[in-house]
Structure 1
Amino acid sequence: MPKASKQTPSGASFSNKRGGTKIGTAVAAAVAGTSARAKQLRGALEVAENSSPDSPFPTIFRPTAVEAQEVYTLLCAAHGIPSAQAAFDEPDVLEGLISTILSQSTSGPNSSRAKARLDATFGRNNFSAIARASPDDLIEAIRCGGLAKKKATTIQTLISAIHERHGSYSLQFLAATREDQRRTDAEITRELLSYKGVGPKTAACVLSLCLGREAFAVDTHVWRLSKVLGWVPESADRVRTQLKHALHVLLMHHGRTCNGCKKDGTADCILRKYRRERSVDS
């Protein structure tokens, strides 16, 4: 992810059209200036401010479309604008799905070690070898990632079910880009959820991080930072579709790298500062 510039223009002034008030100084600084990034963020924020207030969740206030856009602006200024390829290193859909399963209920480093051990033991993407492996061998290979017995069962059951249904150890048809072959997000989600052990969060992670679709998975970092921002309940679909992939990637990256937003962190956090500036009730 590109490194964001540390320089911020002075004298930033950007109108928030809800009541004619000014947006927070941090957001204003991020959108001020003549750089390509500032212009892009400024245009996106203007679109959000003019969005319709109508919502399928009329009794739920948080987050608004503008708030989602403002947080996106702040995180882009801090971490850079994520590309559509800001995702898993694995271009293989089944590999991405297995990586997501390995990441459940553990840290990033632990899940990466488990994936590396899995590849070293059976060969990268040698799904037939994993399917034929003894449960004990698979458990040992991914033990460092935690919940090894449960994850091993899920992975072997998943791989076998895919082979039985499609005749191969592959889900690459879900990544098809040709107009006559491209699946909708709903079709991909239905396929993924049809396999035992794959839930909505895992499916959303594959959609967003592996396939680059506009899905918003509420993982550990997103949930924790949503509480920091006061964005609860987390199920409220107030994040504009065009922001879901990028905002998910940015919140995940920020949660991993920002010391200030952690429970016992001592540094300042741009999201905590943003919430203070907006005077949001806890």
Structure 2
Amino acid sequence: MARAAVSSSSGTPRRSQRNIKKESDQVTIKQEEEAPRGKGTKRSTQSSTPNASSKRVKLSTSPDASIGTTSQRRAKQEEDVDAKHPSPSPRKQKTVKTKAEKAAELQEKKLKAYTQFSNSSLFPDFQHPTPDECKLARRILAELHGDRNRPEKITAPTNRAGCGDSASVLDALVRTILSQNTSDKNSTRAKLNMDKVYGGSDKWDAIVAGGQPKLQKTIESGGLSQSKSKVIIDILTQAKEKYGEYSLNHLFEASNEDAMREMLGFQGVGPKTASCVLLFCLRRESFAVDTHVHRITGLLGWRPKDCSREEAHAHLDARVPDEDKYALHILIINHGKRCEECRAGGKSLGKCELRKAFRSGKVKGEAGEDVKLEEIQTIKQEDHDVKTDHDAIAHAVEQPA
């Protein structure tokens, strides 16, 4: 009776403690499901009741809520780390060099290399060619192509570009630049067109006034016209600014080293170009190394197999006797253009008189001893008598077109 009285006086049915807790849990879960899940929210495993055995999901606002993407959050975290732990040595900024700075750096390297090896070989232990080997090569090549001697007077050719063949140092330098990395035919076409467009071979004022684009178009038949035209304009401009006229003839009074250093100071002028001007125009003893000389001296064993043209120039200029430099330079180039075996891409057929003389250490000696000139005839007559049969010599020579 007492229990019934209590129940009726309250007006509501009595609920157990378990039912109250269950309903409370349902309300909590419902509220969490209805709450909007926005960006920047994260789940928390903290329970809503300290005594509950199960964990509940609770929404909390992250301080990075405004950062939506993973990459943005990662970047923000890296910034925070950098702010807390600054780098002891900040990253060094890469310096970008201007064209002028690059050109100055290149000129400095050229002059340094020339100064280091101007009077000696880079390969002091490489004992070839010997003076007698040079004389042997000259004798054989002279029989094949006719000997060469320096003329008494220099006259600039009017029907070809030439390579340093001029009484004017500036003209000789320009002609040699036109001959770089191209055939004689192409360089001649470029030079003749240049004379036609500007009205002569030494119209330097007109060339500079016309500008680089006009000169580039004028000499395009010679190849590499963009770089060559820029080099020529720069040399003319520098000569005018430095000496008050378009001339480099003061180099006639300079020493070999000073003349080489001044020419190498121009961008686009290397050891081969400067050496050609020194040999032909200034009439000094210098052994220029072009692609033919580099190839054939390699075949003869006159230089280390893997040395560059610049290294070969330093080595051969120190080894070849002065009295043979002019003739050997021209004869080797002539032979390199005409001999079927020694020309670029040629195959050894065992018929080239020059290569036969130097093959297998037969003449130059295994230990590098001097050549015995009396062996020449024995070697040259292995297959036929060259002295009496000129046709036998001509088999190794390509007739000019």
- Same fold by TM-score, threshold 0.5 exceeded? yes
Q: Aligned-pair distance for 1:101?
A: 0.7
Aligned equivalent of 1:132: 209
Give TM-score, length-normalised by structure 2: 0.51
Deviations 1:1-41 (A, max 9, x none): xxxxxxxxxxxxxxxxxxxxxxxxxxxxxxxxxxxxxxxxx
Aligned equivalent of 1:40: none
Cα distance in structure 2, aligned partners of 1:116 and 1:106: 15
Say which SS state the counterpart of residue 326 (structure 2) adopts.
Answer: helix
Deviations 1:177-219 (A, max 9, x none): xxxxx33211211221222221211110111122221101111
Aligned equivalent of 1:187: 258
Tell me if the contact between 2:190 and 2:219 (Cα under 8 Å) persists in the aligned partners: yes
Tell me if the contact between 1:228 and 1:271 (Cα under 8 Å) persists in the aligned partners: no
Of 200-209 and 148-157, more deviation after overlay is shown by: 200-209
Tell me if the contact between 1:212 and 1:245 (Cα under 8 Å) persists in the aligned partners: no
Give TM-score, length-normalised by structure 1: 0.71
Q: Aligned-pair distance for 1:108?
A: 1.3
Call closer, same or farther: CA 1:95–1:265 in 2, change over 3 Å.
farther
Cα distance in structure 1, aligned partners of 2:265 and 2:164: 22
* Structure 1 segment 40-189 matched on structure 2, within 5 A: 57-85=123-151, 88-122=164-198, 123-175=200-252, 182-189=253-260
Cα distance in structure 2, aligned partners of 1:166 and 1:89: 23
Cα distance in structure 1, aligned partners of 2:170 and 2:187: 16
Q: Aligned-pair distance for 1:162?
A: 0.8
Q: Aligned-pair distance for 1:127?
A: 1.0
Call closer, same or farther: CA 1:172–1:60 in 2, change over 3 Å.
same
Cα distance in structure 2, aligned partners of 1:232 and 1:140: 39
- Correspondence 1:221 to 2:292: yes
Structure with greater Cα Rg: 2
- Correspondence 1:276 to 2:353: no
Of 242-251 and 78-87, more deviation after overlay is shown by: 78-87
Q: Aligned-pair distance for 1:88?
A: 4.7
Q: Aligned-pair distance for 1:93?
A: 1.5
Cα distance in structure 1, aligned partners of 2:358 and 2:348: 17
Q: Aligned-pair distance for 1:232?
A: 1.6
Aligned equivalent of 2:321: 240
Cα distance in structure 2, aligned partners of 1:210 and 1:147: 24
Deviations 1:151-178 (A, max 9, x none): 0000000110011111111122323xxx
Tell me if the contact between 1:201 and 1:219 (Cα under 8 Å) persists in the aligned partners: yes
Letter in 2 for 1:211: L
Of 218-227 and 264-273, more deviation after overlay is shown by: 264-273
Select which of 176, 192, 200 maps to 2:271.
Answer: 200
Q: Aligned-pair distance for 1:78?
A: 2.3
Select which of 346, 364, 367 maps to 1:264.
Answer: 346
Letter in 2 for 1:273: K
**Considering only aligned residues, what root-mean-square deviation do their CA atoms show, in Å?**
2.3
Call closer, same or farther: CA 1:111–1:60 in 2, change over 3 Å.
same
Call closer, same or farther: CA 1:130–1:136 in 2, change over 3 Å.
same
Off by >6 Å, runs of 4+ in structure 1 = none
Tell me if the contact between 2:285 and 2:326 (Cα under 8 Å) persists in the aligned partners: yes
Q: Aligned-pair distance for 1:66?
A: 1.6
Greater relative contact order (Cα < 8 A, sep 6+):
1
Aligned equivalent of 2:17: none
Q: Aligned-pair distance for 1:102?
A: 0.9
Runs (5+) with no aligned partner, structure 2: 1-120, 155-162, 305-311, 367-401
Q: Aligned-pair distance for 1:257?
A: 2.8
Say which SS state the counterpart of residue 154 (structure 1) adopts.
Answer: helix
Q: Aligned-pair distance for 1:68?
A: 1.4
Aligned equivalent of 1:13: none
Tell me if the contact between 2:287 and 2:325 (Cα under 8 Å) persists in the aligned partners: yes
State the identity %.
39
Letter in 2 for 1:151: K
**What count of residue pairs does the alignment treat as equivalent?**
221
Letter in 2 for 1:264: G
Q: Aligned-pair distance for 1:144?
A: 0.7
Cα distance in structure 1, aligned partners of 2:346 and 2:189: 26
* Structure 1 segment 27-38 matched on structure 2, within 5 A: none
